Structure 1
Amino acid sequence: MSMELCLLVTQKIAFYMKEIKIERSITRRGEDSLARYLQEISRFPLLNVEEEVILAKKISSGDKAALERLVNCNLRFVVSVAKKYEIEGMPLVDLISEGNIGLVKAAKRFDESRGFKFISYAVWWIRQAILYSIGTHKRMIRLPMNQLSGIMDLWKSEGLLEQQLQRLPTLAELTEFMELPDERVLDYLSNSGDVFSLDLPLEDAEDSPIVNVMTDPMAMPPDAGLEKEAFYINIQRIMNLLSPRDQNVLRLAYGMGGGRPLQNEDISNLMGLSSETIRRAKQKALFKLREMKEVKMMLQYL
């Protein structure tokens, strides 16, 4: 990550939890390491609403010390959320690290004028970061080595471009940098955790997690208020611009409407199509969404 604060927090976790083994259950030594980490972060006092408002205003003005304090004083909540996902097969230290990244994002985006307590807002970002990481982990362990190598190159290229551009690169910038055809980069993107990652920016947008908003009724930040209803109406209108088959593929793949997200094989069986056809249909549908002016207009609300 390019965020210095995330790096510092992750290093701190690694220092106190370096003895934790990568396994489903935490050993006694791992528990001791976690206890030391919890002891370290417990020295940061909880903030009241007035203090959060002051810090949020300073953060909006670029105050890094205020950002660090707001994050540090809420690290214990990340641990609480991460513990709920221990059964998903990832080490607790990794879940906490991912949750901390979500916490930093929330701290940077928090709007104190809305009247919400910070952690009520941040818990959405923490949970989404953890769930995204879990999904990526489960998908990655099933990939052949040649695909893993390509995805590693993709991530390396993405990181280098982000440093150069000071923002996430677009798909066109990635394909040009990697000197690969669009289809190959799309293939790596589709297997790197988020099919044709809509977290990649659309043109100049810096952050566009459209899929997250489209797939989870609770996915919009909790301070969205009455704008939610109109937002979801727009989502349905946009989905209707896709073909019925593409709509069905996306709804099944991402669990739209409250269902459980399905793998390509499951969708293949349900729709009577090959897994490869389903994979390409998802790529095609998501590409169409990325190019729609309606979707680009929606980004301003995220």
Structure 2
Amino acid sequence: MTFAFQTAFRRVPKSFSDNQMPVAEGKFISSKGLEACTASHFSLLLQNLNVLEETFATSDVLKLEKEILLQLARLGALKLFDICLSRTLKTSSFLDLSDIPTVPVEEGKMERKEDNNVGEIIVRSGKKEERRSRKRTSDNAIVSSNSLPPKTIWKGLKKPTLSSGKRASNYRSRRLTISKNEAEMSIGVKVIADLERIKETLEKETGKVATLRCWAEAAGVHEKVLLQHLRFGWYCQDELIRSTRSLVLYLARNYRGLGVALDDLMQAGNLGLLQGAERFDHSRGYRFSTYVQYWIRKSMSRLVAQHARGVQIPFTLSKAINQIQKARKANYNSHMKYPDDEEIAKITGLSLARIRSASTCLRVVGSVDHKMWESSDGTYMEFTPDTSLKSPEETVMRQHMKKDIHDLLKGLNLRERQVLVLRYGLNNYDPKSLEEIGRLFHVSKEWIRKIEKKALMKLRVEESHKYLSHYLNN
């Protein structure tokens, strides 16, 4: 604590146990009307602060205020000081200081007044009044916010209604603004599309990744101008994608449940949106959202055609399938029956061969691990017969046929018999090509082909046919 602060506390009366607070010599103010003990303590603190400020007004006021606030913070009473100060400013009857002579002080000025009772000159600072005025302003703002009308009153207050003509003019002006912005954004998309095509052509010609300098030279602009065009184009792309997100989402919902995730459909729709923006011509009078719907649907349908089916089919065939399905649905709704292929050909203009090939592709591709019924746990795999297993009759017949073939091969020499066994995999070997057999015998494949031909000529006799003909009949 500084020397001035200690001197000030020595000049303050030391005891106030009789519930009386000295303001000037020979005058006392009663504190019986205070609301609580905390308020009395705070009034005592205020009186002490007033005496300190009146005593050391000629000294550095800012330094004194900082020291007082520092001491209050060390004592932990700074928060209590602020709360009590706000309460004091709100209630006019908190302290009765009518006996104290007060003189109004203008803001930013110092006023001297001689106190006859004390016999010394008191200099009042304008900082105190400035601080109190700021506090008073904040309190008035709080009171005014608390005195707002209730919600029922706000509900009764309706917005002023606009006439139909003014509302229509506002809509037209807003529509014109949106159309102008969309036209400007489409121009930026066209610019960046042209620059990307120039870059692709340059990379194809050079076989290397195009640098910014080479790209600018090929485009015929400066590097800084190229960067400006690129930034503007990227900004236009982002703005168009952001502004038409609701439209893309609305169109993507029509393709849900076809085996493609919604995020993938959104990405395909954004690509179609940029393709439509490259071809959009605002001078024809069409809306941008109406024009790009075709490109968004086309991009989504192409993605569904490529990835929705287990077996990929061409896009043109997928388009024909969609036409056939729409024709069948429309004919059923109008005539309550499904049309045949000839009627579909008349409706769609497709040939019968095209319709039949598309009908074969309409078969649903499923998994053998799926459940056959929702109420049972059996899968298609469990109920599908295994065609690879042979019956006992077929197994016995194959064993006899293999024995007869080996007996027939005994009429050939060793080299011919080995070539036929390796060529057709008779002794549980995998069938081998002529080149593979030639490598085993260290001869050319042409030599092996001659040996095979000679051995087959020996086996193609009438007796051999009669010997094995009953296997062919079975």
Shorter-chain TM-score bucket reads 0.3 to 0.5
- The TM-score with structure 2 as length reference comes to 0.23
- The TM-score with structure 1 as length reference comes to 0.34
